[in-house]
Amino acid sequence: MKNYKKEFNYILYYSDSANEQDDLHFYSEDFGQEKMQGIFKLTLGLHFPEILFLPKIENIYESWPPRFDYRSMQSEKDICIGLLYGESYIVLPYNEWAGTVRIIEPEVKNAIVQSDSESEFTDKSIVFFITEEEYEIYQQEAKKIHELNDLEEHRGYETISQTRTEDLEKYMKVPVFIKEKILPYFADNDLYNISRKKDEKGNVTFTQTIGNK
């Protein structure tokens, strides 16, 4: 168990299909690395919660939410839609819907998504739409976060990170976007994992120190 100094709000970690420990890697093995371009995750805290960032899905407006069959998944668009349904928090560029949030309930997913699996969806997918310009900015900042992750130091039981949110927020937009736009939609258990909860007015508040430093 890593220990983090108490002033750490939470730490951002970057992951994409090059990470052999991430499920995105298995998609790249099945469909090719070239079809995974522009897809990445930012994880808050040690391992979760995760926020999935997808590139633009063409013609997404034609049918929302789109019907989907995992058994015929092949194209880049198929992969993005398949990943979208499998995650809880998704950031997706589409200029016309930028600034809006669309929630796909599990019963809706179960009605429009087909697969060979007998299991059903139990979690909603919350999609945060941004502009294509914002996506490009967040993608570049995420790559910088990836570089900063590699500078993490381990001193005994203490971890010194370069991706504390209170530091990143001073010069990056993506951690501010996450804090202001995505955290208010977090489920209670996801807030708990980053030492937060919602008060009686629905505001997200800090609850406890992460680690014991």
Q: Where are the domains of the chain?
A: 12-206
The pTM score is 0.90
pLDDT-based confidence at residue 167 (cuts at 50, 70, 90): confident
Q: Pick the most confident of 4-13, 66-75, 198-207.
A: 66-75
φ, ψ (nearest 5 deg) of residue 169: -65, -20
Looking at the DSSP assignment, which residues form a beta bridge with residue 128? 91, 101
Distance between CA atoms of 112 and 135, rounded to whole angstroms? 27
Distance between CA atoms of 34 and 27, rounded to whole angstroms? 11
Percent above pLDDT 90 for the chain: 74
Mean pLDDT of the chain: 89
> pLDDT (tens digit, 9 = 90+) per residue, 114-163?
999 889 999 999 999 999 999 999 999 999 999 988 887 777 766 677 78
Distance between CA atoms of 111 and 38, rounded to whole angstroms? 29
Angstrom CA distances, 95 to 85, 101, 120, 156, stand at 21, 13, 32, 47
User: Which pair of structure tokens corresponds to residue 74?
Assistant: 């092949």
Distance between CA atoms of 58 and 77, rounded to whole angstroms? 7
Distance between CA atoms of 41 and 142, rounded to whole angstroms? 9
Element (H or E) spanning 149, and its range? helix 132-149
> pLDDT (tens digit, 9 = 90+) per residue, 62-89?
999 999 999 999 999 999 999 999 999 9
Q: Which contacts (CB < 8 Å, 24+ apart) does range 198-201 have?
A: none
Please name the residue that has the structure tokens 């979690």. 123
User: Which pair of structure tokens corresponds to residue 113?
Assistant: 């998504």
Distance between CA atoms of 92 and 77, rounded to whole angstroms? 12
Distance between CA atoms of 195 and 208, rounded to whole angstroms? 5
> pLDDT (tens digit, 9 = 90+) per residue, 112-121?
999 998 899 9
